[in-house]
Structure 1
Amino acid sequence: MIRDWINRQIFALGRHVAPRLGPAAVRGLGRAAYFGARLDHTHLETYRHNLRIVLGREPDETLLRAGIASWVRTYVEVLALPAWSRDEVLDRVVTVGERHFRGAMAGPGAVVALPHLGNWDLAGAWACLSGFPVTTVAENLGPREFAAFSAIRGRLGMEVVAHDDPGALGELVGAVRRGRLVCLLSDRDLAGTGLPVRFADRIVTMPSGPALVARRTGATLLAAAGRYTDDGMVLEISAPISARPGRAGLIAMTQDIADFFLDQVRRAPADWHMLQPFFDPGAVGRRGTAATAARPAGDG
């Protein structure tokens, strides 16, 4: 398709241009992107809807502008990351709760669930350069696009599995057993087979992967999220999430992840890059609504 060809050209050009862009240029791109989003408005209205539910109020134009600017910043940084030096990457990340992460990696290994908050690729690069090689899953948008994004992450030290790979679960389990850190974006249920959890008083589905991989391998389950500062990012890491048995246990573990995510999104709503539908408009419920979906079962 012509659109796919154009996207590939922009992506190819961006890899050369992005490392040369200063903060002022990135801010200018953010303003232009907001103007474009207002013209198309589909993604902007979806973003507005998601923020309205999470915050319990109508997001104002200042927040929406900041959100689109944050999304652009992330896109530019992802393209620029391979050109950054080790010190540039490490100096941009300040951690909170790093002891939980290091303790897990010194023991049974770690599975880290992340939302689309801040720059998750920068978080992965920080982990790789800190001596913890990352295995992750990425959305497969097509062979060429997946190859291009995998190449960028590969240069950063990450190992990438396609989200629609039928052997993905086995590869993630194997990665933990090889001593790799498994990091999974976990606030979007791409496969449509996720577990029901409560998020801002709505029932949504979130992937079972982090809880499932942690439980099958004995690795420590953690959640983590990034939020931008003027010149870098704070990466906050949760305390370990306890493993619990059965399908009800998977839901409870995933609910703990969702609770951490919600707290982090509310702290930095402009950095939540959720421009896709997230909430089912009819799924307003109580905490017990998710629990009723649990039934005694195995890992499936």
Structure 2
Amino acid sequence: MRIDPGALLLSAARVVPRLPAWLSAGVFAGVAEIAALTGVAGVPQLRANLARAVPDATDRELRRLTRLGMRSYMRYYEEALRLPTVSDAQLGARVRAVNTEWVRAELTAGRPVVAALAHLGNWDLAGAWATRFLGPVVTVAEHLEPEELFQGFLDFRRGLGMTIIPLEQDGSTFRALLRESRSGGPIIPLLADRDLSRSGVDVELLGERARVAPGPATLAVATGNALTSVTIRYERLRGPRRQAAGSRWGIVITFSDRIEPPAGAQREEAVTRLTQAWVEDIGDFIRRHPEDWHMLQPVFVADLDPARLKPAGSVA
């Protein structure tokens, strides 16, 4: 019998918030263990990606790291599905934000901040926190199949307070981002650590050639707004904070300092250099916290099918 992942996720979205937190957390942790043990779709690629982050790891260490990575990944889904039931007080207790002062100053002055994100930690929890405690959030969602699943994700994230722009291939998405960047001071986080399209930018990530999205750098250059890299990791909660959060886990959101383009650089060079700069920030973080990098798809050029690989920009 074939299982429809989309239907399964939609069903989980309806059921999980009604379950006791300890039960849903246990179920998702069990799913993670089974997935890591059986090597279901995506797990071998996760292990291959993690091997770049920890090149000296033994096979045993890589197996353990893959297990931890899947537990972190499944924790993300379980927590995200429960977000509609989380109070503002619990949300504030679950998140510890680092280096937000300059970001708040930009947003308060009505200047948007563009944030380059990777598949790290729980970005839905981070987005929900930001809408309540930092500023308006505008982001992009990639189309999913079936359409019912995609609309479900749109409704879910919009219900958390975020403005979501569907990703289109006709240029309308970028134009919508430009319009949003002129309306007040939103923060615009863009998930960008994988892009196999013709516009993808070749960079060095973890010492290897990889392909990422140019969106964050392109938007920052086009608008003159600040660019930052944002990393997210899990941390165990204890004592009063754990009680206030209503969870054993919280996240740490770290904003880099403003990433500046080289003086006098032309547009294409500025985009390339800015992209490599945020990728280096993300890469340094992944080396320190590889278990929270949920990349279950190919991102390194060596793992891609050369016949399907389209020309891309590259770092000189």
- Report the residue type matching 1:157 in the other structure: G
Q: State the alpha-carbon separation in 1 of the partners of residues 11 and 23 from structure 2.
A: 22
Q: State the alpha-carbon separation in 1 of the partners of residues 180 and 286 from structure 2.
A: 29
Three-state SS of the structure 2 residue aligned to 1:112 is strand
What are the equivalent positions in structure 2 for 1:2-21 lying under 5 Å apart? 7-18=6-17, 20-21=19-20
> Aligned in 2, Cα 1:191/1:134: closer, same or farther, shift over 3 Å?
farther
Q: Select which of 144, 147, 151 maps to 2:155.
A: 151
Q: Select which of 190, 194, 202 maps to 2:208.
A: 202
Q: State the alpha-carbon separation in 1 of the partners of residues 6 and 314 from structure 2.
A: 40
Give the deviation of 1:185 after TM superposition: 0.5
Question: Which residue number corresponds to residue 245 of structure 2?
Answer: none
Q: 8 Å contact 1:14–1:76 — kept in the other structure? A: no
The one-character-per-residue Cα deviations of 1:226-269 (angstroms, maximum 9, x if unpaired) are 10012200001000011343211111000111011011112211
Q: Percent identity?
A: 31
Q: State the alpha-carbon separation in 2 of the partners of residues 224 and 213 from structure 1.
A: 16
> Aligned in 2, Cα 1:18/1:64: closer, same or farther, shift over 3 Å?
farther
Moved more, 72-81 or 102-111: 102-111
What are the equivalent positions in structure 2 for 1:174-185 lying under 5 Å apart? 174-179=179-184, 180-185=186-191
Q: State the alpha-carbon separation in 2 of the partners of residues 34 and 141 from structure 1.
A: 26
Question: Which residue number corresponds to residue 268 of structure 2?
Answer: 247
What are the equivalent positions in structure 2 for 1:245-284 lying under 5 Å apart? 245-281=266-302
- Report the residue type matching 2:210 in the other structure: V
Give the deviation of 1:4 after TM superposition: 7.9
> Aligned in 2, Cα 1:111/1:84: closer, same or farther, shift over 3 Å?
same
Matched, 1:235 2:235: no
Three-state SS of the structure 1 residue aligned to 2:96 is strand
- Where do 5+ consecutive residues of structure 2 fail to align? 237-248, 305-312
Tell me how many residue pairs correspond in the alignment: 286
Matched, 1:162 2:166: yes
What are the equivalent positions in structure 2 for 1:56-205 lying under 5 Å apart? 56-58=55-57, 59-107=61-109, 108-142=111-145, 143-166=147-170, 167-179=172-184, 180-189=186-195, 191-205=197-211
Three-state SS of the structure 1 residue aligned to 2:199 is coil
Give the deviation of 1:46 after TM superposition: 0.6
> Aligned in 2, Cα 1:17/1:24: closer, same or farther, shift over 3 Å?
closer
Give the deviation of 1:30 after TM superposition: 1.9
Three-state SS of the structure 2 residue aligned to 1:281 is helix
> Aligned in 2, Cα 1:130/1:3: closer, same or farther, shift over 3 Å?
farther
Q: 8 Å contact 1:247–1:294 — kept in the other structure? A: no
Q: State the alpha-carbon separation in 2 of the partners of residues 3 and 177 from structure 1.
A: 47
TM-score scaled by length of structure 2: 0.83
- Where do 5+ consecutive residues of structure 1 fail to align? 284-291, 296-300
Cα RMSD (Å): 2.3
> Aligned in 2, Cα 1:275/1:294: closer, same or farther, shift over 3 Å?
closer
Q: State the alpha-carbon separation in 2 of the partners of residues 19 and 61 from structure 1.
A: 33
Q: State the alpha-carbon separation in 1 of the partners of residues 55 and 39 from structure 2.
A: 25
Question: Which residue number corresponds to residue 289 of structure 1?
Answer: none
Q: 8 Å contact 2:35–2:43 — kept in the other structure? A: no
Q: State the alpha-carbon separation in 2 of the partners of residues 3 and 265 from structure 1.
A: 35
